[in-house]
A and B are shown apart, each in its own frame.
Chain A
Amino acid sequence: MTYSGIEKAEKQTSSWDTPGPWLGMVMGFGTPLCVFVLNAAGWIAGLAAFGVMGAIAFAVIRRFPSENAARIYGSAALARYNTRFLLAMMAYIAGLLAAMFLYNNDMPTGPHAYAVPLLPTLPLLAAIGVMGRYMVEETDEYLRHRTSLSALIGLGLVLVVGTVWGFLETFALVPNIWAWWVFPVWAIGLGIGQGLLARFDRAAEKANDEDAHP
């Protein structure tokens, strides 16, 4: 096989051969629909709608062979991470909506009140655990290196945003923000880092192609 044949063969697989994009579509379209059902028909119908969405998500995961995901995402650990993280995010959305519903309708009092904020909190703690587990399970040193760099970019973003916002808030120039924003800001930084590094990878692949077809 020539260089050009090699490169073409390497690009035949697509992320659409993995559950990730399909799960994203199920969640993207399903969550607003479930919220609509929750508001229109009550919490029992809403929970049932979330149950149906969860069942569809599991069916999607089972539909695709895991070796496809391992090949496309780069490693089996990364494929497992993607699935686990999506499941944690689904649990987070369900927990957040349930907590908001309880808060707006029949908020428990006393010690039981602490259970309500735990509904969205526990899935997010699980998501953080999923990230840690990925770093332990990943055997590919380059992918681990790439994730470490992305995590540092996320940390840098948290430090910058937290420092700037904190001082602006100290001098009463901006409103207070809740501390749970730390996680999404860090995750945004992680995503930016992963996106940039993936872009560098693709640029390198393109350079490979150009080397093959001068």
Chain B
Amino acid sequence: MKNQLKVLRAQRDWSQQDLADRLGVSRQSVNAIEKGRYDPSLPLAFTIAEVFELPIEAIFSRD
């Protein structure tokens, strides 16, 4: 899956750690998801969408 995490957190001036703290996950998790090396579970994807206040499909898309 592709995602817009890096762009979205840059727009908000958040570091990976800032986003990780908001999501309640590790920085490694944010890094892995951001680079497309790990697809988050549905609950975590919903949490990411809530943190960015966007629908999931605005953040994640198919390759």
Contact = CB atoms under 8 A, between A and B. Distances in A.
Interface of A: 1, 3, 6-7, 9-10, 71, 74-75, 139-143, 145-146, 200-201, 204-205, 207-208, 211
Interface of A is mostly: helix
Contacts of A146: 28
Contacts of A10: 15-17, 27
Contacts of A7: 15
B35 to A, nearest CB: 4
Contacts of A205: 31
Contacts of A142: 25-26, 28-29, 32-33, 38, 40
Interface of B: 6, 10, 13-17, 24-29, 31-35, 37-38, 40-41, 44
Q: Which of A3, A140, A143, A207 has the most CB of B within 10 A?
A: A140
B31 A141 contact: no
Nearest to B10: A3
Contact of B28 (A9, A201, A207, A208): A201
Contacts, number: 57
Contact of A204 (B10, B25, B31): B31
B45 to A, nearest CB: 11
Contact of B44 (A6, A9, A141): A141
B15 A141 contact: no
Given A6-B10, A142-B32, 16 more contacts: A9-B15, A139-B24, A140-B26, A140-B29, A141-B29, A141-B40, A141-B44, A142-B25, A142-B28, A142-B38, A143-B26, A146-B28, A201-B31, A204-B35, A204-B37, A208-B35
Contacts of B16: 6, 10
A142 to B, nearest CB: 4
A208 B13 CA distance: 16
A205 B33 CA distance: 12
16 contacts: A1-B15, A3-B10, A9-B17, A10-B17, A71-B17, A141-B40, A142-B29, A142-B38, A142-B40, A143-B26, A204-B31, A204-B35, A204-B37, A208-B6, A208-B34, A208-B35
Q: Which of B13, B16, B17, B29 has the most CB of A within 10 A?
A: B29
Contacts of A143: 26, 28-29
Nearest to B9: A6
A112 to B, nearest CB: 48
A200 B40 contact: no
Given A10-B15, A142-B38, A145-B38, A74 B26 contact: yes
Nearest to A145: B38
A213 to B, nearest CB: 14
